[in-house]
Structure 1
Amino acid sequence: MQGAAARAQIKALVTDFDGVHTDNTVLLDMDGREFVRCSRADGMGMEMLRVRGVKLLVLSRESDGVVAARARKLQMECVHNVKDKLPVLDDWRQRNGLSWQELAYIGDDINDLECLAASGLPVAPSNARPEVKDICKIVLQSAGGNGALRELCDHLIERELVSEVLD
């Protein structure tokens, strides 16, 4: 489809973890192990982008291993325990040969503001902080941990902002 190819622009989706993959709730057992709740629908959305050749990265301040475990399950690259996200994101972007305009970023809190402002498509789940929503081009109807990522993936595909499925 000629029109779709002309519109396709997003080649990477970078996600925060807490408040995006999760609803920001953490459960602790008596040994201090953390548990979070994620939406399986988000996993299908990530798969739909991956088969279209979209690069996927989880970039999180969180240090707990649950972040890396979920990223592995979704077959996403993961960099976590990051205090200053923008330099790490810029390095990843350059190593992957991406322009800022080809990058969508979804985050929910103030530590995502710089990455959101730099990205070509800044996105917030409905549960994001007001100052985050204010700078985003898209504010989703769904909250983090409740299908926000799937909603974003569907949006990118339906509006032909990502390439067609590769053979």
Structure 2
Amino acid sequence: PHDLARARALAPLLDPSPYPTRTDVDAVVLDFDGTQTDDRVLIDSDGREIVAVHRGDGLGIAALRRAGLPVLILSTEQNPVVAARARKLQVPVLHGIDRKDLALKQWCEEQSVAPDRVLYVGNDVNDLACFGLAGWPVAVANAHDSVRAAARAVTTNPGGSGAIREIAAWLLGPTLTVPTDVSATPTK
């Protein structure tokens, strides 16, 4: 643990940019609960779950797709709300996944994307295995302490409050347009 703490203290000296840019990333993989939501769930009297999402996050995801970045929602929850949100965003979803790390690895192989070129967004301990695979593990501001500690970057916005929009701005700029230096570069 002491060596890890030292390594984290030295990392900013070797990695001058604390946030990735479009040239650093070939795909974006998003957890759902706690990253696209505030991690709360409302349950009605019939047992149906309801969550709130941030419209700015949807705008950010649409911009990432327009920029040619493959985007995937990867969730342990087997819930119709996850699938419904993915449909609305026109993003593929893998949900009800027990081993997210294995699913991420397989998806990367299918997409011909190197895991070290993946930005993975998570918030809780079940995301840590994926953090070990992804080149850009990102935690939302309100993530579990161990997840923030393992992340390469942490958003200023909490999950469900524009964190995904913030990440899209890291990659595409605040106007969410593809920078001209990478727009001609084909993505995988």
TM-score past 0.5 threshold:
yes
Distance 2:137 2:103 in 1: 17
Q: Corresponding residue for 1:3?
A: none
Distance 1:14 1:20 in 2: 11
User: Unaligned 5+ residue runs, structure 2?
Assistant: 1-21
Q: Corresponding residue for 2:124?
A: 109
Deviations 1:86-106 (A, max 9, x none): 111100000000101210000
Q: Corresponding residue for 1:4?
A: none
Of 35, 44, 50, 1:29 maps to 44
The answer as to 2:104 corresponding to 1:89 is yes
Distance 2:36 2:184 in 1: 24
Of Structure 1 and Structure 2, the greater helix share is in 2
Q: Corresponding residue for 2:136?
A: 121
Q: Corresponding residue for 2:94?
A: 79
Aligned residues: CA RMSD: 1.9
The answer as to 2:183 corresponding to 1:164 is yes
Q: Which amino acid aligns with 2:38?
A: D
Query: Secondary structure at the residue paired with 1:41?
Result: helix
Identity %: 40
Count matched residues: 160
8 Å Cα contact 1:45-1:149 kept in structure 2 = yes
Distance 1:85 1:101 in 2: 16
User: Unaligned 5+ residue runs, structure 1?
Assistant: 1-6
Higher radius of gyration, 1 or 2: 2
1:117 shift after superposition: 1.7
Distance 1:137 1:104 in 2: 10
TM-score (norm 2): 0.81
Higher relative contact order (CA 8 A, sep 6+): 1
